[in-house]
Amino acid sequence: MLAGISIWQLLIILIIVVAIFGTKKLRSTGKDLGGAVKDFREAMREGEAEDTPQLNAGTAQKAAEKQAEEDKA
């Protein structure tokens, strides 16, 4: 898809984008996008960390129920 685009065409597009939006706007947009990606990654890690103890707690509860049944028998 990008194989047909040369470095000169990309450079011209970059110059047009900078002329339209300005460097300050592009810098703030890049910072906002980077912050959003960072927040998303942290949320994914927190979600994984929350899931793991719940699975272990469920397994421990099942083991305790099984032990209680064995004790009754």
Identify the domain containing residue 46 by its residue range. 17-68
User: Does any domain span residue 4?
Assistant: no
User: Does any domain span residue 7?
Assistant: no
User: Does any domain span residue 50?
Assistant: yes
User: Does any domain span residue 59?
Assistant: yes
Secondary structure (H, E, C), 4-53: HCCHHHHHHHHHHHHHHHCHHHHHHHHHHHHHHHHHHHHHHHHHHHHHHH
pLDDT (tens digit, 9 = 90+) per residue, 14-70?
A: 999 999 999 899 899 999 999 999 999 999 998 887 766 554 556 667 777 777 777
* Number of domains, the chain: 1
pTM over 0.85: no
